[in-house]
Every structure is written in structure tokens, then in C-alpha cells.
Amino acid sequence: MALGGGGSSDCEHMFKLLIIGDSGVGKSSLLVRFADNTFLPNYVATIGVDFKIRTLNINGERVKLQIWDTAGQERFRTITSTYYRGTHGVIVVYDVCSGESFANVKRWLHEIDQNCDVVNRILVGNKDDDPDRKVVLSEDAHRYARQMGIQLFEASAMNNTNVEESFRAIAELALRTKREQQAQMGKGASPDQRGYGGRNSVMGEGGRGGGGIRIGRPGPQKSKSKNSCCK
């Protein structure tokens, strides 16, 4: 099986995705729903970063996603810039029941800008399963997403609504970017010049799977230099 190249139907693409957002918005829950189709009602804060793998079929092509789930809690957000290395797409999550988490989306988008030159992004408003608790109005969220030029999905990891669609959307964006880069390369630029190839990928083989890095010692997080990711 050819990895990462060509347009044949047995071609396999590999993309690294990153999930960011405030603590408790449901980043881990969205990932567990997408990768394992389960939901855990009890909150267990992510420490450091974790990842899971799932393969999608997009227009007959196998697209393997390595999805990194970051900690929202500030004290666990160490070595932030390394999270972004080799990333093809970022999912920014807020909680539709928390105005503060929506207000902080701006901050998360800023963090992406600080760490990446160019990257695919989508916005997910999670916990859209109880109208009585919803405080971030759909129209406000859609208006903001339009302003920022980002696709928005209102989802529920609990009810399994719009979860598959969200991950599929970011995977399709990553695939489209790869196609565009390949087209550019065809016009003469080398892979290195285009920042193409996922050379920082640490993805393993297999269908679904996971792993994690536990980072025990809290510390300063900001990195000044942008990564070569995301191009």
C-alpha cells in the first residue's frame, strides 16, 4: 500500500489533527465518541496530551487520522508548540452551555496563529443536547465562524450528533490541502519547499488505536518560533 501519495483508490493518507479548547468543553469526549463510539459521563481531566487513531474512507480513499487530544487546564499545557508540529488540522472546541468557553475561542485561534503559518481549522460547539442550558446562540456562533472563515459544527458527544461530520470535515480539508500542495509541487517546487510530507508524523500502523504522553510537571508554555507544521 502506498502511503501518502498518488490518487489511486488503495492510496492511504495520514493526517495529524489536534483538538484544543477550554477545559471541560468535551474535547476528550468528542474524540472517544469518534474513535471508540462511547461516552463517559464522568469528567477526567486530560493530563498533557493523548491521541487516538481512526481511519476514514473519503471518496474511496483511506484517510488515517491521528488525533491529538490536548489538556484544557492551563497547568497541564506544557510544551505547547510541540503539539502543533506536523499538524494538518486543528479542531477548536467550545461548550454551547458556556459563554466563557466561546469567548475564549478567540484566544485559541490566536494560539494557532502563533504556532502555525497556515493550517486547516474547524470550530465545534459541543454539548448541544439541552436547549435549556444552551447559552451560545447558534446565530451568534455562525456569524463569528463566518467572520473568521471557519466551518462551524454544533455537536454533542453525548448524543453522537455531528461528531462524525466534524471530523470528516477537517479530514476533507486536510486532503484538499494535500491535493493543492501536490498540484503546486507539480509546478516545480520540491516537497521541502512546500512543507509537504508529514515528516514529523509519529503515526503508527493499524486502524483504531491510541496512546499518550503524560506530562507531569507544569511549567511555562509559550514558544516564540512557529512550527513547520500545517503548510
Applying CB under 6 A, the residues found at the interface with ligand GTP are 23-29, 40-43, 45-46, 71-73, 126-127, 129, 156-158
Closer to ligand GTP by CB, 41 or 149: give it. Answer: 41
Residue 98, binding choice from Mg ion, ligand GTP, none, Cβ under 5 to 8 Å by partner class: none
Residue 127, binding choice from ligand GTP, Mg ion, none, Cβ under 5 to 8 Å by partner class: ligand GTP
Segment lying near Mg ion (by CB under 5 A), choices 41-49, 128-136, 180-188, 194-202? 41-49
Comparing C-alpha atoms, which of 72, 69, 107, 74 is closest to residue 90? 69
Comparing C-alpha atoms, which of 155, 105, 106 is closest to residue 134? 155
* Distance of alpha carbon 158 from alpha carbon 97, whole angstroms: 14
Return the bridge partners of 3, or none: 12
Residue 220 burial (10 A CB sphere; 0-12, 13-18, 19+): exposed
Closer to ligand GTP by CB, 63 or 128: give it. Answer: 128
- Which of 18, 33, 46, 108 touches Mg ion (CB under 5 A)? 46
Closer to ligand GTP by CB, 42 or 190: give it. Answer: 42
Instruction: Tell the smallest beta-carbon distance from residue 48 to ligand GTP (Å).
Output: 10
Phi, psi of 88 (to 5 degrees): -100, -20
Q: Does 28 bind Mg ion (CB under 5 A)?
A: yes
Q: Do 161 and 129 meet the contact criterion of CB atoms below 8 Å apart? A: yes
